[in-house]
Amino acid sequence: MTENEFLRGLVAALTKQNEELLAQVASANAQIAALTERIEDLLEQLDKKNKNSRNSSKPPSSDGYSKPAPKSLKKSSGKKPGGQQGHKGSSMKILRKPDEIVPHYPAACLNCPNRALCQMRVAERRYEEDILIRTHIVEHHQMECCCPRQENKKLRGEFPAHIKATKQYGNNLIAFASALSTVGMVSIDRIQKLLSNVFQISISTGTIQNRLRSLHELVKLPVKYIRNQVSQLPLLHCDETGLRVSKKLRWLHCMCGEGWVYYALHDKRGREAMEEIGIIPDYRGGMLHDCWKPYFTYDKAEHALCCAHFLRELVYADEVKHQKWAKPLEDLLYEMLNERKRLLELGKSCFSKEQTEVYSSRYDALVAQGLEANPLQERRKGQMGAPKKGEMRSLLERLRDRKHQILRFVEDWNVPFTNNTAEQAIRLYKVKEKVSGCFRTKQGAEEYADIMSYTNTAHKHGVGFFDAIKAALTGTALPIVAQWG
């Protein structure tokens, strides 16, 4: 073998060995990339386990047994606990004259023969307010007579219009049972037991259900009026929540504002539901919500976002992800809110142009700091699809891209800092679900939505739930609702 042949063989062997090593390196790099991505996913899942109702939008019911220590998002105002200087205070009030007066004499005077001769005065008054639990049965007699002035023609009196059966339940009882079921969130079975045990009233669960259905028919027209008023509000609060209805997940949509509340049940959560419910597509005022993407498809409205949701995410970014920009941004949002409150007390109606620009610049600087600390990941060799942004990058991009909607409360002082108006209104349904269980039928859930639209709107106008239901039972609900408009 010549020297050239030997060298050519050596080069070929080394080339093959190099190719094998390169293949091994490529395989190792691919494995490292896959393992790195897996580690990042596991770390992210581990961080997600630290999410709770205090640092995310998860409901408190999802916290389980490892509930976080209570910590409100509200910052201390610096005021002492209790009533403030100048606060009138409130206590139990006696609103009418006593039904009964019971004098209490000294023990020595009880059997004294001279008690009537002694001068007595009231040394001290104390009041006891109680309720009398009793039923009231009215027997209506239809009187008949033979009138001698009309050739002994038989004449009969007329029953009142609301007396339609031989035996029936009165409006107070129906209103009370309806209030327990809707506002009280008590199940129909428990209502039947309460009425039976406390009042000794014989009533079936089927009768209660039928009366609720009749009540729903009576509030249909008032609810249509309420829906129309909600569609014309200058600022609309929107929220939605999932409900178990006849063993399926459905969605309750809430649209409300100053003085008006409207609920609608739908099988879907997003745009399809909004189109069929029909208020949001044509709405042209201010719309406050929690950054749910389908809302932004309606560009006729001026969108504003609930800052409470972002505050919880900033708490998570600070305490779990240890992002240095998060706490200063949280403090900035509170600073803007507190300054707005202070200026409102001084009679101001907006920030100065200079203040707004300073706040905007500080906001931009903190978001830019966060984006720099959380750059977009480069696509690894052999990686399928675009690299994941991650929670922090996604949050920062929302803070950057939705800045105008987040800081709407800075630009327009008629816009609240949070969407609590809608969240508190819709929370009633979750309590009802928790107390009484899921709705067995879709019809029952829809009827409940209409009744609650009516009673909650009545409550916002200073009319009690019981009185509102009684008004509906007597057919006067629509005129009353029309007066509010």
Task: Look at residue 2 and tell me if it is in a domain.
Answer: no
Residue 295 maps to a domain: no
**Residue 396 CB neighbour total at 10 angstroms:** 26
Residue 407 lies in a domain: yes
Distance CA 445, CA 182 (A): 11
* 8 in any annotated domain: no
Q: How far apart are CA 67 and CA 377, in angstroms?
A: 34
Q: Is residue 366 domain-resident? A: yes
Give domain status of residue 268, yes or no: no
Going by C-beta distance under 8 Å and a sequence separation of 6 or more, which residues neighbour residue 334?
75
**Residue at 281 is within a domain:** no
Residue 323, classified by CB atoms within 10 Å of its CB into exposed (0-12), middle (13-18) or buried (19+), is buried
CA 451 to chain centre: 17
pTM confidence score: 0.78
302 domain residue, yes or no? no
For the chain, the distance separating the N- and C-terminal CA atoms, rounded to the nearest angstrom, is 108
Q: Helix, strand or coil for residue 270?
A: coil
- CA distances to 100, 160, 362, 372 from 59, rounded to whole Å, are 50, 51, 32, 32
Supply φ then ψ for residue 152, to 5 degrees.
60, 30
CA separation for the pair 245, 265 (Å, rounded) = 10
Q: Which residues contact 144 (CB under 8 A, 6 or more apart)?
A: 154, 155, 156, 157
Q: CA 397 to CA 389: how far, in whole Å? A: 10
Question: Are the C-beta atoms of residues 294 and 309 closer than 8 Å to each other?
Answer: no
Per-residue pLDDT of the chain (485 residues; tens, 9 = 90+): 677 777 777 778 888 888 888 888 877 877 777 777 777 777 667 666 666 666 666 656 555 556 666 566 666 666 666 666 766 666 778 888 888 999 888 888 888 888 788 888 888 998 888 888 888 899 999 999 998 888 888 889 999 888 888 999 999 999 999 999 888 888 889 999 999 998 888 899 999 999 999 999 999 999 999 999 999 999 999 999 998 888 899 999 999 999 999 999 999 999 999 999 999 999 999 999 999 999 999 999 999 999 999 999 999 999 888 999 999 999 999 999 999 999 999 999 999 999 999 999 999 999 999 999 999 877 666 556 677 788 899 999 999 999 999 999 999 999 999 999 999 999 888 888 887 777 888 998 999 999 999 999 999 999 999 999 999 999 899 999 999 87
Cα dist. 8→3, 5, 17 in Å? 9, 5, 14
Tokens of residue 301, six digits: 């409205």
Q: In this structure, what DSSP letter does residue 439 have?
A: B
The answer to whether 267 and 244 are in contact (CB under 8 A) is: no
| Token pair 């059966």 in the structure block, residue | 165
* Number of folded domains that form the chain: 1
Beta-bridge partner residues of 240: 253
Name the residue range of residue 363's domain: 320-375+388-418
